[in-house]
Amino acid sequence: MTEWWYLHAHIETVDRRRFAVFASFFRMVKGEDEATRAPQYAHSMTWALTDLDGGKYYPDSLVDRDAPRLGLDKLQRGEGTRDPRLRRALEEVLERGNVPFPDHMFEQEPFVHDRKLELDFDGNRLWKRDDGAYVLELFHQYFKHGVELVFTPGKPAIRHGEDGVVRGHDGADMFYYFIPRCEVTGRVTFDGIPRPVERASGWYDHEFGGQRLGQRALVIDPDGTRHAYDELELEPLNEWVSTRTFNRYPSRWRLEVPGADLSLAVDGVFDDQEFVTLISKPAFWEGRCAASGTRAGVEVTGRAYIERSGFLTANSLDDFFREVGKAVRGSVANLLPFEPTYEQVRDLVASEERDHYMDGVDLAQFVKTGVVPVREITDRGGKGWRSYAALACCDVVGGDSRDFVHWLAMPELMHVGSLIVDDVQDGSTVRRGGPTCHTVHGDAIAINAGTSCYFMGQHMLQGTQVSDADKLRLYNLYFEALRAGHAGQAADIRGLDEYMPKAVESGQSDEIEGRLLAVHRLKTAAPAGSLARMGAIVGAGTEAQVEGLGRYFESVGLAFQIVDDVLNLRGFERGLKQCGEDIAHGKVTLPTVKAMSRLPHDDRVWIWETIRSKPQDQAVIDAVIAKLEGCGAIDACAQQAEELIESAWARLQPLVEDSIVKIMLRSFGWYVLQRHY
């Protein structure tokens, strides 16, 4: 059984600042005392202050001190996420006796009076005065925001359902009453400054029991008369995508209650009122809204709160990164639209200050040669993990990645630019399940379009959120990644053929393995590490955190490339590349190198001579793959990738607070190891 108390208020302070606040206090039966048979309770609370003028949402969630044990019990019962990597990462946090931020545990045991309404949840208090008013006190230690409010009922309490009873599942009914209008007085503390309330109204409700089912609309007249209607329609009108959880929520609705002749448009005052917490796996939307419409033909307006949960878009990491990929493609499309304005093209080519550079520029030709070749590759997919890495590293050190959501396109364009050029240099024909850029547009346009992507990062790094000193660090990291990538590609073009005869003859592969890993490190690990460091810098991370995250993502990037070598032999999903394509191109990869120290001389000679011949017969390619599998070279590559990630995580783990984002980063390492694309 669960019992909860809920309040919300719409507030204007004496300095004309507009705020809204909601608070929920929860008490749940978690067991019973073996000796007395008395119920034992767990407690939690969620609350958020909305700054309407600043367009900011400040949530706080506190959970029971027994939450780690309760969470482990739930996982053992098979509840929660079904993704084994997320479950494993969450278990690590809970086994350390922690809960993931932004949730945090009560420092003191919550107090609930057994004879009257009096709650104290770590200094967040709710009680009922003798005159019938409700007093709410909240304070957020990190943001230095809070409220001290008195709710004086302006209407009588209204019972929901059937005289207060709302029917639930399997007899788990709920008792629910609410006070739809209260006069609210007191003060709001914002940025540590108390601000007296000029005018405000509020709502109070109290519920206990099980899970409610069904739907019902209650319309309360000014005199408190209650009208109930079972027929209603709440239609979502839009879809907003969170860049933290990548959940998709409506934030605008149309409410129709035909029996009440009521038609309302209900709009969130801004979209981003997502409450991230594992209490609701992993988030819900509860926000301040404005309502307008008609009742009985008369125009009406009002203020509202709407809570919507159950919008978990991604049930697994594969789903999650598909959603990330959609957001990344949208970000790229915003920067490189198929039908750009003059100003958009000008900003891509030059700047407002040098508008004359655009004299004679053909916008349609620019789209055809500068936008379409890039978008044909980006629009096919890709999981966008590099883009997520930059934002996640901002959040995991305590920053707010929502200030840098425009960064989503930058890592993708850096990556796709290199892919387009690499495909020209390697002679590849397939990229992301379709033809490579140069096979469609020719080498010249492909090279120009690919290299142009490198310069798009400047647009992402502009803005006022970052100091000039940090901006210089970002530029240095960005161009360091590009330099490293080009050095790696130069080594890749040169190839490792000159080192193979020695490895074939001696059976010693240490030297050539080092050369090959240097290519992977420069082409993939260095850019990933730079992006992670950039995210941690704008998140105001410590030097240890910046470097720890950079090294972790370098290891992830290196492991990613090693796994890529493995998948090239074992096969990609949806035919994104030809199985054994590297063998057909005569390319030396890590499994081939490792096989040199695992196979007898004759087999080493045969494998190398076969690869050098660039076989196109799939049966021959399959025979080479079978040799590499049989000697354990491919498994050894997979093991090396795992060791890279585990050792890097061991160094990073103590440097960053346990959080939902940290769980994602931990599980992402396993995702790379187990990927199939």
Mean pLDDT of the chain: 92
- Mean pLDDT to the nearest integer, 398-417: 91
555 lies in some domain: no
Pair (266, 288) in one structural domain: yes
Pair (367, 420) in one structural domain: yes
Pair (295, 416) in one structural domain: no
- Residue 452 to residue 111: CA distance in whole angstroms: 62
Q: Given a cut of 50, is residue 399 above it in pLDDT?
A: yes
pLDDT at 574: 47
Pair (124, 45) in one structural domain: yes
Task: Give residue for tokens 């770590």.
Answer: 122
- Mean pLDDT to the nearest integer, 479-500: 94
Pair (292, 343) in one structural domain: no
Examine residue 222 and say whether the peptide bond preceding it is cis (omega within 30 degrees of 0). no
- Mean pLDDT to the nearest integer, 163-186: 80
Cα dihedral: 467, 473, 478, 483 (round 10): 160
The predicted-structure confidence for 221-234, as pLDDT tens digits, reads as follows 988 899 999 899 99
* Residue 49, strand partner residues: 21, 58
12 lies in some domain: yes
The predicted-structure confidence for 32-80, as pLDDT tens digits, reads as follows 877 888 888 999 999 999 999 999 999 999 999 999 999 999 999 988 8
Pair (116, 210) in one structural domain: yes
The predicted-structure confidence for 87-100, as pLDDT tens digits, reads as follows 999 999 999 999 99
- Is residue 259 within 8 Å of residue 231, measured between CB atoms? yes
530 lies in some domain: no
- Mean pLDDT to the nearest integer, 386-407: 92
- Is residue 670 within 8 Å of residue 85, measured between CB atoms? yes
Last residue of one domain, picked from the residues 294, 315, 336: 315
pLDDT at 294: 97
| CATH number of the domain bearing residue 147 | 2.40.370.10
Q: How confident is the model at residue 213 (pLDDT cuts 50, 70, 90)?
A: low
620 lies in some domain: no
pLDDT at 569: 93
558 lies in some domain: no
Task: Give residue for tokens 């059937």.
Answer: 162
- Is residue 419 within 8 Å of residue 527, measured between CB atoms? no
pTM over cut 0.85: yes
Pair (304, 195) in one structural domain: no
The predicted-structure confidence for 345-367, as pLDDT tens digits, reads as follows 999 999 899 999 999 999 999 99
- Is residue 287 within 8 Å of residue 50, measured between CB atoms? yes
Find the angle CA(176)-CA(178)-CA(179) to the nearest 5 degrees.
165
Pair (26, 175) in one structural domain: yes
- Is residue 111 within 8 Å of residue 119, measured between CB atoms? yes
Task: Give residue for tokens 């396993």.
Answer: 670
640 lies in some domain: no
- Mean pLDDT to the nearest integer, 278-293: 90
Position with higher pLDDT, 181 vs 381: 181
Pair (254, 184) in one structural domain: no
Residue 625: how many CA atoms within 13 Å on its side-chain side? 20
202 lies in some domain: yes
Least reliable range by pLDDT among 263-267, 316-320, 568-572: 568-572
Residues in the chain: 677
The predicted-structure confidence for 148-159, as pLDDT tens digits, reads as follows 999 999 999 998
Pair (274, 191) in one structural domain: no
pLDDT at 662: 97
541 lies in some domain: no
- Is residue 323 within 8 Å of residue 387, measured between CB atoms? no
The predicted-structure confidence for 525-544, as pLDDT tens digits, reads as follows 999 999 999 999 999 999 99
Q: What is the DSSP letter of 355?
A: G
Please give the tally of structural domains in the chain. Answer: 3
Examine residue 282 and say whether the peptide bond preceding it is cis (omega within 30 degrees of 0). yes
Nearest 5°: phi and psi at 509?
Answer: -120, 5
Domain extent, residue 367, equals 323-382+409-463
Q: What secondary structure does DSSP assign to 403-462, as a single string?
A: GGGGGGHHHHHHHHHHHHHHHHHHT--EETTEE-HHHHH-HHHHHHHHHHHHTTHHHHH-
- Residue 344 to residue 523: CA distance in whole angstroms: 31
Q: Given a cut of 80, is residue 211 above it in pLDDT?
A: no
